[in-house]
Amino acid sequence: MEKQKVLVTGGAGFIGGNFVQFMLNKYPNYEIYNLDLLTYAGDLTKHRELENKSNYHFVKADISDRKTIMSLFEKEKFDYVIHFAAESHVDRSITNPEIFVLTNVLGTQVLLDAAKQHNIIKFVHVSTDEVYGELDFDPTLFFTEETPLQPNSPYSASKASSDLLVRAYYETYKLPVNITRCSNNYGPYHFPEKLIPLTISRVVNDQRVPVYGDGKNIRDWLHVIDHCAAIDLVLHKGKNGEVYNIGGHNEKTNLEVVKTIIETLGKPENLIEFVEDRLGHDKRYAIDPTKLEQLGWKPTYNFETGMAQTIQWYLDNKEWWEQIISGEYQRYFDKQYRI
C-alpha cells in the first residue's frame, strides 16, 4: 500500500482529535500531520499514546498564518487535507465574532491557496448543518444538500462563508474538494462548554445545569466515531466538488438530552435551571443523510448506546475534563451563565 501524507487541521480538538486516532488505527501506513494552534479548545494530552509513533507528527501553527502554512505545504507535499480547525462554539461567536472570521474564513482561504499550489488528491472541508439555518418543528422537514444557506449566528455565517470559498476553489481552479455538513456530535473528548459534556461534568458534581429558554429546541445527535467514518468515506470515495450531509436521525430536545444524563447518573431533575435564551437560538436541526448513505455510510451508534458509552467515558476520564474546567474555563462559565 502506498504511503500517503495526510494533513489534519484542528487535530487537537474534539472531532479532529478523534479523527487523528481513527485514521492512525485504520491506516497504519499513512503519515498523519496534526496541525493545530492549541487555542483554549485544543489539547495534546489526548494524544499522549501517539507521541512515539513514527507516522504521527504534530505542528503548532495558525491556519491563517500564510507564510507558515505555505512553507509547510512546500516542505511536506501533502496528498490529503482534512480541515477541522475552527472556532466552533456558537455562544462565543455571539460575544466575540471577529476571531470566527479570522480563523474560519481567512484560515480556510489560506489553506485552499496552499492546497491549490500543490498537487493534492483531496481537500475535505468539515462544515456544519448550521449553515442551513433552522427548521421548523414539523418532523417531515430535513436539511438536504440543496437546502439554501441561511446561517443565523456569527459562527454559522463564518462557516457558510468558508463553504462558499471552498466551492469557489472547485468551480474556478478545479481544486479537488468536498464539503461535509454534519449535525451535532457527541462522544469522548468533547469540550465541556458544549451541552452534553457541560451537563455531564456539572451533574457529576451535583451542580445546576443551564438550559436555554424552554429547552424545546431540537438537535440531531451523531456519535463522533460515526462522523469520522463518514469523513473517511468522503475522503476516499467522494465525488469532487460535491457536498455531503452527515446525520443519523437522532433528534432530541435539549431537555430530553439533559434528562437522559441526569437519569443515567441517578441525580435529581431539580438540577435543571432554565436560563435566558441564546440570542438568535435556532429552533431545530435535522439532517437527511440519503446522499451519504448511497455512497455506503451508515451510523453504528444509536442515541441510547452512544450516550451510555459517552457518559461512562466521562466517568472514567475525569482527570481530562477536570483540568479543563478549572482556571480560565471557570471564568468563562461565570461570565456566560451567572448561575
Catalogue the active-site residues: 129-130, 155
Identify the CA nearest to 259 among candidates 320, 307, 190. 307
Shortest Å distance, C-beta 126 to ligand DAU: 9
Instruction: Give the list of residues 6+ apart from residue 210 with CB closer than 8 angstroms, or none.
Output: 198, 273, 275, 337, 339
Write down the least CB distance from residue 45 to ligand NAD, Å: 12
Q: Which does 195 bind (CB under 5 to 8 A by kind): ligand DAU, ligand NAD, none?
A: ligand DAU
Number of other CB atoms surrounding residue 127 within 10 Å: 25
Sequence-distant (6+) residues with CB within 8 A of 61 are 35, 36, 37, 68, 69, 72
Q: How far apart are alpha carbons 152 and 7 in whole angstroms?
A: 30
Q: How far apart are CA 256 and CA 199, in angstroms?
A: 12
Residue 105 in contact with ligand DAU, rule: CB under 6 A:
no
Distance in angstroms (rounded) separating the CA atoms of residues 82 and 147? 24
Whole-number CA gyration radius for the chain:
19
211 binds, among ligand NAD, ligand DAU, none (CB under 5 to 8 A by kind): ligand DAU
CA distance linking residue 262 with residue 270, whole number of Å: 10
**Residue closest to ligand NAD (Cβ):** 13
Binding stretches for ligand NAD (CB under 6 A): 9-10, 12-16, 36-39, 41-42, 62-64, 84-88, 103, 107, 126, 128, 159, 182, 184-185, 191
Q: How far is the CB of 189 from ligand DAU (least distance, A)?
A: 14
For residue 117, give the 3-state DSSP assignment.
coil
Chosen from ligand DAU, ligand NAD, none, partner binding at 12 (C-beta under 5 to 8 Å by type): ligand NAD
Q: Which does 299 bind (CB under 5 to 8 A by kind): ligand NAD, ligand DAU, none?
A: none
Residue 50 vs 201, nearer CB to ligand DAU: 201
Looking at beta carbons only, is 106 or 271 nearer to ligand NAD?
106
- Between residues 57 and 278, which has the closer beta carbon with respect to ligand DAU? 278
* Residues forming the site for ligand DAU (CB under 6 A): 88-90, 128-130, 183-184, 194-195, 198, 210-212, 217, 219, 254, 278, 285
